[in-house]
């Protein structure tokens, strides 16, 4: 689809800044407004006064989590083309940027959209099931952090902890664990009510090591396997795919994974990899062989465990493509 006007929007919790590119007379046009439905209507009226038709423009913004939701809902309601992009991609495209200003950032985002218009991907809203699961994953994650904090208190207090304090702490931990079970039960019920998601959830759950949370993570963050064409791209997104670091004959760095990743999902996949090494004979032998090849040790363990995580991603994508559950081969 061809667009002649590019609207950059810089998003914050309470306000938005918009800019138009290309700008008339080479002078950028900015608008500052509230991050509400009323504010977004002001933006649309502002664009119309400048002769910009909805069919000729695309709105480009950084994906900033829940703060982006009003813009997403407004664009869907009004039928506006919207492209949400990685903040890191936009930042790197700016080159050396001095200072920080929301209005100027909006202009840079608009310019980014114009320069990369051939690569812009229009936003497609995930299904209601995916959105519900994403929010429930966030809720569960908060409970788990609270549980970890309470367990750390138990460990830190040691001999100075009173019986009453320990009782309160254990009661709080027990309550949080009950809440976690309720959230997991609700997620399972939501999945069971959606046949398309239930199919893929059951398939990837057949892979040894992939439990409830890793299966839901994968369904949510791949948008039920619609957002990533290959397992390699998803592995890169999670932070599992290794990259070379070489240049000419003088720069010969180690092949390693990028620190730009989904750290929470990567950590949870690490737990799946450890489980798979225990319960899948083939992966256990693979892990042992690779550890021996690399001389063992803590560093070798991290590298080989990462390779196991990549294999789990490959298997999840494979079973979804084939439509057949994974079968453990005992050889």
List pLDDT tens digits, range 102-158. 788 888 899 889 988 888 888 888 899 999 999 999 999 999 999 999 988 877 777
Lowest mean pLDDT segment, chosen from 87-96, 121-130, 221-230, 276-285: 87-96
The token pair at 141 is 């994650």
Burial label, 175 (beta-carbon count in 10 A; 0-12, 13-18, 19+): middle
Pairing of strands 251-257, 242-247: antiparallel
Q: Count the domains in the chain.
A: 3
pLDDT score recorded for residue 38: 94
Indicate if 327 and 231 belong to the same structural domain: yes
Indicate if 43 and 132 belong to the same structural domain: no
Q: Which of 93, 115, 137 is the last residue of a domain?
A: 115
Indicate if 37 and 107 belong to the same structural domain: yes
What would the mean pLDDT of 91-101 be, rounded to a whole number?
Answer: 57
* 8-state DSSP, 262: -
pLDDT score recorded for residue 119: 82
Indicate if 132 and 170 belong to the same structural domain: yes
Indicate if 235 and 323 belong to the same structural domain: yes
Indicate if 218 and 199 belong to the same structural domain: yes
| End-to-end Cα, the chain, rounded Å | 52
Residue with tokens 């991609």: 89
Indicate if 182 and 153 belong to the same structural domain: yes
Q: Which of 115, 149, 164 is the last residue of a domain?
A: 115
Residue with tokens 């180690």: 254
Q: Phi and psi dihedrals of 260, rounded to 5? A: -85, 100
**pTM, 2 dp:** 0.75
pLDDT score recorded for residue 176: 97
Indicate if 201 and 316 belong to the same structural domain: yes
Confidence of residue 86 (pLDDT cuts 50, 70, 90): confident
Q: Phi and psi dihedrals of 175, rounded to 5? A: -65, -45
Question: Does the residue 164 lie in any domain?
Answer: yes
CATH number at residue 86: 3.30.420.40
Question: Does the residue 122 lie in any domain?
Answer: no
- Please give the residue range of the domain that contains residue 141: 128-193
Q: Which of 166, 193, 220 is the last residue of a domain?
A: 193
């Amino acid at each position: 689809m061809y667009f002649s006007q590019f609207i950059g929007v810089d998003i914050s919790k309470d306000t938005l800044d918009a800019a138009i590119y290309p700008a008339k007379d080479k002078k950028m046009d900015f608008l500052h407004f509230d991050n509400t439905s009323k504010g977004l209507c002001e933006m649309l009226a502002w664009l119309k006064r400048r002769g910009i038709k909805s069919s000729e423009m695309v709105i480009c913004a950084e994906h900033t989590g829940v703060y982006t939701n009003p813009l997403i809902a407004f664009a869907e309601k009004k039928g506006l083309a919207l492209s949400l992009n990685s903040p890191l991609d936009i930042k790197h495209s700016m080159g050396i940027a001095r200072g920080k200003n929301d209005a100027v950032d909006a202009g840079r985002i608009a310019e980014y959209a114009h320069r990369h218009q051939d690569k812009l991907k229009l936003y497609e809203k995930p299904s209601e099931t995916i959105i519900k699961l994403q929010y429930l994953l966030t809720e569960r994650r908060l409970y788990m952090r609270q549980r970890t904090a309470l367990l750390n208190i138990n460990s830190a207090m040691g001999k100075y902890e009173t019986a009453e304090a320990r009782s309160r702490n254990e009661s709080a931990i027990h309550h949080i664990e009950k809440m976690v079970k309720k959230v997991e039960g609700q997620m399972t019920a939501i999945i069971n009510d959606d046949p398309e998601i239930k199919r893929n959830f059951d398939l990837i759950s057949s892979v040894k090591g992939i439990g409830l949370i890793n299966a839901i993570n994968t369904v949510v963050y791949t948008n039920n396997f619609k957002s990533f064409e290959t397992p390699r791209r998803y592995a890169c997104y999670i932070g599992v795919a290794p990259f070379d670091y070489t240049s000419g004959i003088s720069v010969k760095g180690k092949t390693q994974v990028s620190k730009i990743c989904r750290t929470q999902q990567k950590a949870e996949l690490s737990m799946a990899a450890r489980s798979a090494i225990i319960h899948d004979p083939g992966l256990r032998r693979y892990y042992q062989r690779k550890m021996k090849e690399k001389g063992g040790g803590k560093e070798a363990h991290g590298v080989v465990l990462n390779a196991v995580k990549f294999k789990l991603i490959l298997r999840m994508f494979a079973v979804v493509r084939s439509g057949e559950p994974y079968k453990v081969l005992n050889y």
